[in-house]
Structure 1
Amino acid sequence: MNYIKPVSLSLMTIALVACSNGEDTTANETDTTLPELSSGIYTEYMDTSVNPGDDFNQYVNGKWMATATIPEDKSSVGVWSTLRDASQDNVKIIIEESAKGDFAPGSDQQKVGDLYNSYMDMKTRDALSVKPLQPEFGKISAIANYDDLAVYFATANKRGYNMPFALGQYVDFKEPDTYMMYTWQGGLGLPDREYYFKEDDKSADIRDKYLQHIENMFDLAGFNAGKQAAATIYDLEQKLAKVHMEKEKTRDMVALYNKVPREDLAQIMADFNWSAFLQEAGIDTIDGLVITQIDYMKALNGIISQTSIADWQTFLTWKALSANGSRLTSAIDKENFDFYTKTLWGAKQQRPMWRRGVNVVNGTLGEVVGKVYVARHFPPEAKARMQHLVDNLILAYRRSIQDLTWMTPETKEQALDKLSKFTPKIGYPDKWKDYSDLEIKADDYFGNIERAALVQYQQNLDRQGRVVDKSEWQMNPQTINAYYNPPLNEIVFPAGILQPPFFDMNADDAVNYGGIGAVIGHEIGHGFDDAGSTFDGDGVLRNWWTPADKEEFKKRTQALVAQYDSYQVFDDLNVNGTFTLGENIGDLGGLSIAMKAYKLSLIGEDAQVIDGFTGEQRVLIGFGQIWRGSYREELLRQLVGTDPHSPAQFRVNGTVRNVPEFYSAFAVEKDAKLYLAPEQRVKIW
């Protein structure tokens, strides 16, 4: 589940639609027309010999985890990877219908088929070698001074190359009906700044392998002096990493929103040719930019001017080569895999080429295949039942806010106003993306990806200054995920995630409230987490809290930070409670409100006992089983260092121990390992 903000600034754009909510009277009645509903619980995966109060994740998923084997081509296995594979299987069928057909040039089918075929045609890619990159290397070699360097930064940014800072379009935090251009720190080849400075043996080994990877890539591209180039590149990346804003601070939306008038940009980077950069970027008439990391950009000014043009050329050659590591020859592709997936994630071998090809099509022409995917795999009744669940979750959230004892009426009024303006999007967009400007050729994979990036960039330029398009989605319908957008105040659930164990049309409501209900609540909760709560109901970045309520909110969230800081992933590695705070708030609020919504849906009736479990037990088990998974150590370590989500076992155990119904449903006593005294349990929403 994602919380969309301009972290990567790969020209992200988000949308908003006005939301209407019914009167707060009674919950919508549960649909009783479906016959013989199952429990939806995977009892064969449960280890009921475990006390649920000691390890609820083990209790729910223990038998599965005891026998789970991670395939050689994966870094993890579980619910998420299984559903993603199934989605890819279905998309492959759609793609191959186009890949094997003869369709009119410019048609959607031609583009899908030829893009896939161009990826799969490794014989042509091997024959071309690095020839497709020669024009790029020529541009880099032609850089004669720092003005040229500024121009090249803008040129490379259009293709999504990893420059020292990115420029991208996003909704304006202060005026969410308009678009704004933002900068974001960049330039690192390792996953996070900390990788450059940690002194433990594992980190040192990764750095050594990264240096060797750079050298290997230079050798494969036919360049000389790869070892010297690697040292130059690493040294420059380390200088950038030293001044990068820490990831924990990038959650502070207020601190990130620094709109600098165009004429004042020189005060941030005095030696940088902003005029040349903005002209090449195509936004030379813009009145200003949002500089998200002010201190980083100020420090970057000195790094740029103190680094020779020759060293910058070496650095930029690496960024062009690395950005295209999976688009060139089989040897370069394998080397790219060996470091970024094998070393960092622990996978032993590459995924089948067809799966990688499906990913390329999904990432480039996703809504073309998404339209067919929805028609085949997402029945209208699923959308209707999902809407029913969303309505009940919003109702439950409303009642929960009204009942809060720690919040004043003034702040409650603002919170309820925000909740009333949430926009749910379910399944697929009402308006599909237009790919008519994109030319796809069957024998030009590199060019296809290049053209796709430039078309997307130009489309964003064309709408700069226009009203925000509120119909767009940031995930394809076939995606197994969900997200929330703060300046658009929308919660989005693609069709792909709306299947078991998240959402089971043939299961009793309880397990669905614990699964997709908790996901819905999670995404709503992002609107009220440490970052989302800085935006109001109209998506405007402003403080709608009284000082006392804000202080109490911080007190409660800090208690959650302390809990997660104490969770030990390995002997030498704990969860980062500060970095994962937003997702932990989402999980806690999601399950708490899902439980409340389930109770409301019963309308005073007693829940059935199914498979020996009460309704409340099934809600909690339904939540636990969506996080069923097993991970390689390499991946888990990287996730702890770079992912704002806590590891799966702590998303289960760390959440349920703060939910009162967990204690009553499973008779959790004081001597249980997950037990928290009532006063220690965190309740925010």
Structure 2
Amino acid sequence: MNKLLYLLLALVFFCAWNNPDDHKKKFVDVAGIDSLIKPGDNFFRFVNGRWYDTAKIANDQSGVGSYSFLNIPQKQLLQNILDSVSKTKNVMGSIGQKVGDFYASGMDIATINNRGYQPIKPILTRIDAINNTPSLIEFVSTELKTGNHSVLSFGISPDNKNSGINIAHVYQTGIGLPDRDYYFKTDSSTLHIQQAYKKYINTLFQLTGNTPATAAKNAEIVYSIEKQIAASHKNNVELRDINANYHKTAITSITKIQPNLNWTTILANLGAKTDSVDMAQTAYYDKLNVLVKSIALNDWKIYLKASTLENYAETLSKPFVDASFGFNKVLSGQATQKSRRQIMTENVDNFLGQALGQLYVKRYFNEDAKKRVLVLVNNLQKSFENRINHLDWMSDSTKQKAKEKLYAITKKIGYPDKWQNYDKVQINRTKYFENVLALNQNDYQFQLAKLNKPVDKTEWGTTPSTVTAYYNPSFNEVVFPAGILQFPYFDFAADDAINYGGIGMVIGHEMTHAFDDQGAQFDKDGNVKNWWTKEDYQKFREKTKQIVNLYSSFTVLDTVHIKGALTLGENTADNGGVAIAYDAFKMTEQGKGSDKIDGFTPDQRFFLSVARIWRVKTRDAFLRTYVNTNPHSPAMWRVNGPLMNFGPFYKAFNVQPGDKNYKSEDQRIKIW
């Protein structure tokens, strides 16, 4: 997509936000509706079919449309800020200076290319100096503090069993492919990815001076080690089991169980003063304890060099960036690289997100949107309470606990009340690599400072400009950043049907996460604690199994099906979100009436809006990776799946037996 088109898209969204009258007639894309498709056969295609068949995915993207791909024009707004602030003389130490100079350092590709891989030579030299297992462990734990991850993944977050306190957690890691199954599947698509990954590692070694023969040998050594590591990993479905991935253990205990890892030394190197840690996936560290001795030290050094090169490839000169893209395009199907401006905009958002977020909110956010959306959130809470009251499968005692949790949910809208502080990090306009290390180290120290301290529940887990929303079970909160408070999700000029089918659906979705298969295990204070009767929880589990089976029957590509167990939480939230948003809409004046707009009833407009917010088209390669690794169903089934279970949709569009997505009333799944 060329720069002019990006700018035009950005202006469309900006004008839509600030001058809603300009597009008030376009909330329902009437011309885009494919009348040749029956709503009951495929509602996603009915609403989005003509757009889908003609939409072009830019060569430098893996998809186009709404949801996460709405971040493409969002990034143009951020680019506007960065282009401006990077050319302005800012006060040293100010937000503008840090954001502008970091962006400028990354845009100075001449300097970056001239440096080649010189910035990481000191790290490679330290790897060469490793002469025993203790020095191997020392390198791994020390490097983690500046963002160089290999076989150790360490973080600070709330204790699942005591959500008011932050504790240390360690997780499985150590592999370069998307998940453990990629090392063991033998279908042609996966074999192609395996070979592309080995080629990538081979290229990285050649770029650092190895002969082709040595580089090829090294790539095989690295892949072999990763495959042994992967064998100890839990798969993506197993990782969703809350209790099975929580093992708070005394350091004295794990030191005895895993003596080769020397956890006392690891934690000392990390600066983490604690007498216990949650070892989320114990099998991984048990295996690592064996592998650090059974695998030759020289092979480990080759592995660590590959891991370091992969970690920093996109921060180095063009040949490394090209090599990284060469592998990633096999996973995503993306044809060409993004422009340097796009890449650096994403990097600034990743590394200095709340600094850039302050500039974004000041320039683009309409404060009235925050108040309007809060009204919708409150209305959906009332709707959800009403649905809980009328559940026929839940006892009164569990209903009371559910409502207590519902009304304990914290609502965060727009942007944080308290911004993250970057005062301790210095940004040099001429040293991009060093800036990345400094920002990684700053973030690590920011996280480390939370260890064994009370949880600050004012913190946000995303940047304000991002088009997303989330529920955090440990905080029992729903979060709606400024980025999602725009068309097609929300607009001041839109009628209630459009807004309740848009942002209302999203709000309902996030609220339902508090009561999906994972969220339901957390109480109102964010602790993993049972609040169900045994009978009610069993009924709930039986209903979630129906969701798993339904979505597992959906075919995405060829013989590739949605992974119903992996996507259970999101599918539960989609089904609940539609129902809760619809009930809240029916409380409005428009929802109670029958006046048509553009030839559609209020109910029809609500469902048209639901389908419009998932207007997404992706490349097949991206979709294959997505289905294997992402807990969300692809866009089409985020529309068709919930609606085939929802009676009011049948009535609104006269869905009848014989329609492809018709289900009799006794087959329709209703949880919340």
1:377 and 1:582 map into 2 onto residues whose CA distance is 33
Residue matched to 2:95: 108
Establish whether residue 413 from structure 1 lines up as the match of residue 400 from structure 2: yes
Q: 1:160 to 1:88 in 2, by over 3 A?
A: same
Alignment check: 8 A CA contact 1:514 1:595 kept: yes
Q: What amino acid does structure 2 have at the position aligned with 1:320?
A: T
Establish whether residue 392 from structure 1 lines up as the match of residue 397 from structure 2: no
Residue matched to 1:180: 167
SS at match of 1:243: coil
Q: What amino acid does structure 1 have at the position aligned with 2:229?
A: L
Residue matched to 2:13: none
Establish whether residue 504 from structure 1 lines up as the match of residue 491 from structure 2: yes
Establish whether residue 324 from structure 1 lines up as the match of residue 312 from structure 2: yes
1:70-99 per-residue CA deviation (whole Å, 9 max, x = no partner) reads 111111111236531221111112112221
1:517-553 per-residue CA deviation (whole Å, 9 max, x = no partner) reads 0100111111111111110000011111111111111
Match of 1:273 among 262, 266, 283: 262
1:274-313 per-residue CA deviation (whole Å, 9 max, x = no partner) reads 1111110111x30200011122222222122211111111
Shift of 1:614: 1.2
Shift of 1:249: 1.0
Shift of 1:165: 3.2
1:39 and 1:593 map into 2 onto residues whose CA distance is 25
1:72 and 1:580 map into 2 onto residues whose CA distance is 29
2:70 and 2:283 map into 1 onto residues whose CA distance is 42
Aligned 1:52-201 pairs, distance under 5 A = 52-80=39-67, 83-201=70-188
1:134 and 1:550 map into 2 onto residues whose CA distance is 56
2:47 and 2:256 map into 1 onto residues whose CA distance is 57
1:40 and 1:509 map into 2 onto residues whose CA distance is 11
Q: What amino acid does structure 2 have at the position aligned with 1:275?
A: T
1:116-173 per-residue CA deviation (whole Å, 9 max, x = no partner) reads 1111111111111111101211221121111112222212222333322301111111
Alignment check: 8 A CA contact 2:255 2:264 kept: no
Match of 1:452 among 439, 456, 478: 439
2:653 and 2:256 map into 1 onto residues whose CA distance is 61
SS at match of 2:420: coil
- Could you tell me the TM-score, scaled by structure 1's length? 0.93
Shift of 1:574: 0.6
1:658 and 1:56 map into 2 onto residues whose CA distance is 13
1:632-684 per-residue CA deviation (whole Å, 9 max, x = no partner) reads 11000000011011111111111110111111111101111001111111111
Residue matched to 1:262: 251
Residue matched to 1:369: 356
Residue matched to 2:342: 355
Q: 1:299 to 1:35 in 2, by over 3 A?
A: closer
Alignment check: 8 A CA contact 1:429 1:472 kept: yes
1:189-209 per-residue CA deviation (whole Å, 9 max, x = no partner) reads 111111111111111111111
SS at match of 1:92: helix
Shift of 1:37: 6.5
Residue matched to 2:32: 45
SS at match of 1:484: strand
1:409 and 1:199 map into 2 onto residues whose CA distance is 51
Shift of 1:39: 7.3
Establish whether residue 588 from structure 1 lines up as the match of residue 588 from structure 2: no
Shift of 1:381: 1.5
Shift of 1:239: 0.5
Aligned 1:273-672 pairs, distance under 5 A = 273-283=262-272, 285-340=273-328, 342-602=329-589, 605-672=592-659
User: Any unmatched runs of 5+ in structure 1?
Assistant: 1-33
SS at match of 1:487: coil
Higher relative contact order by CA 8 Å / sep ≥ 6: 1 or 2? 1
- Could you tell me the TM-score, scaled by structure 2's length? 0.95
Alignment check: 8 A CA contact 1:514 1:620 kept: yes
Shift of 1:267: 4.4
SS at match of 1:653: helix
Alignment check: 8 A CA contact 1:171 1:179 kept: yes
Number of residue equivalences: 651
1:607 and 1:282 map into 2 onto residues whose CA distance is 64
Q: Percent identity?
A: 38
Q: 1:75 to 1:35 in 2, by over 3 A?
A: closer
1:409 and 1:305 map into 2 onto residues whose CA distance is 57
2:68 and 2:274 map into 1 onto residues whose CA distance is 43
Alignment check: 8 A CA contact 1:37 1:508 kept: no
Residue matched to 1:30: none
SS at match of 1:465: coil
Q: 1:115 to 1:675 in 2, by over 3 A?
A: same
Higher mean Cα deviation, 102-111 or 492-501? 102-111
Alignment check: 8 A CA contact 1:268 1:297 kept: no
Shift of 1:466: 2.1
Shift of 1:600: 1.7
1:421 and 1:491 map into 2 onto residues whose CA distance is 11
Q: 1:313 to 1:79 in 2, by over 3 A?
A: same
Q: What amino acid does structure 2 have at the position aligned with 1:599?
A: K
Aligned-residue CA RMSD in angstroms?
Answer: 1.7
SS at match of 2:169: strand
Residue matched to 1:22: none
Q: What amino acid does structure 2 have at the position aligned with 1:670?
A: P
Q: 1:267 to 1:544 in 2, by over 3 A?
A: farther
1:486 and 1:622 map into 2 onto residues whose CA distance is 28
Shift of 1:379: 1.3
2:660 and 2:240 map into 1 onto residues whose CA distance is 31
